[in-house]
Amino acid sequence: MKKKLSVGKALLYGILILYAVITLVPFIWAVSSSFKTLEEIVSGTINFIPKNFTFDNYKQIFLEQELFPRWLLNSLIIGVAGTSLNLLFNSMAGYALARLSFPGRKTLFIIILAVLMIPAQVTMIPNYLILRELGWLNSYQGMIVPAMINATFIFMMRQFFINFPKELEEAAEMDGLSRFGTFFKIVIPLAKPALAAQAIFVFMGFWNDFMRPLIILSDPSMFTLPLGLNTFKGQYISYWNYIMAASMVFTLPVLLLYGFFNRYFIKGISFTGGK
């Protein structure tokens, strides 16, 4: 019995390690390529440790490719502003749907649930035309405003506020705080874990988005990183050392974010994956 158990365990470890290798190899290969010279890259030999370790690829993309820092900045501006607005507006809507009664509340909630099922492709062309009418193509607001709420997280915040103890709010109201005062001073600070999970996913959504910027932004100086990276690939078609270095710069911020907020990540996913 005991022996059988350990064979099973060995098998499980085998699966886990094999899959870890499968997951890691592409990343290690990309990182290693980003520190190789072009000569080594084109030679086609398989070595994960660069023979001539060099930072030149990183220097090149920051110094020679003037737009690269700009793309990084654009991505940051859109990501940070978009995420802040989402946190605020999604919580406001979630709170109203959970706690306040007003005519049309049910309809609004049903619409928000329905929106969850609507693929972005239907709204993609009309949104382009609307932004064009507004003169918002190639602008930060064109990227931010249409995405400053998120149905998934409104839904998630509503669930959170429904389970939130009412007594606290009643006590605050007794103490003379207004509804908005209660919301901003009592409710929001206590919602931090839910907000943290949301912040990560919304930021990643903005940071990694490819299709919306592709449609909305055509001026290279307004590009976000994914778009920049794509044109970069076209320009340096066989300079995989540069392309990999740029890819690593693009990935690093999200990895750092993950490092800091690891536990909220898993929580956030189980939130969205829950019943």
Partner 1 sequence: MKKRRTYSKRSLREASQGYSLMAPTIFVLALFIIGPILYAFFLSFHKVQLLGTATYEFVGLSNFTNISDDSRALRALWNTFKYVIIVVPIQTLLALILAATLNAGLKGQSIFRIVYFLPTLTSSAVLTLIFMWMYNQNGLVNEILSILGLPTYNWMGDPSVALIAIMIMNIWATAPFFMVIYLAALQDIPDSLYEAAELDGANAFKKFIYITVPNLRPVTSFVVIMGLIGTFQLFDQSFIFSGGSGGPDNSTLTVVLLIYQYAFKSLGTMGYAAAIAVMLSIVILVATLLQRKFSKEESLY
Can residue 240 be called a binding residue for partner 1 (CB under 8 A)?
Answer: yes
Can residue 274 be called a binding residue for partner 1 (CB under 8 A)?
Answer: yes
Q: By CB under 8 A, what part of segment 64-83 binds partner 1?
A: none
Both tokens of residue 130?
A: 């609307």
Among 110, 113, 168, 269, contact with partner 1 (rule: CB under 8 A): 269
Distance from the Cα of residue 197 to its chain's centroid: 11
Among 78, 156, 217, 243, contact with partner 1 (rule: CB under 8 A): 243
Nearest distance in Å: CB 145, partner 1: 7
Can residue 165 be called a binding residue for partner 1 (CB under 8 A)?
Answer: no
Please say whether the beta carbons of 94 and 160 come within 8 A: yes
Both tokens of residue 1?
A: 């019995």
Among 61, 172, 191, 244, contact with partner 1 (rule: CB under 8 A): 244
Among 110, 113, 190, 255, contact with partner 1 (rule: CB under 8 A): 255
Can residue 108 be called a binding residue for partner 1 (CB under 8 A)?
Answer: yes
Can residue 113 be called a binding residue for partner 1 (CB under 8 A)?
Answer: no
What are the CA-CA distances from residue 210 to residues 96, 179, 205 (Å)? Answer: 32, 39, 9
Can residue 110 be called a binding residue for partner 1 (CB under 8 A)?
Answer: no
Among 58, 62, 128, 236, contact with partner 1 (rule: CB under 8 A): 128
Among 66, 100, 163, 167, contact with partner 1 (rule: CB under 8 A): 100
Q: By CB under 8 A, what part of segment 177-206 binds partner 1?
A: 179-180, 183, 204
CA distance 172 to 179: 9
Among 7, 44, 64, 189, contact with partner 1 (rule: CB under 8 A): 44
**Residue nearer to partner 1 on the CB measure, 68 or 250:** 250
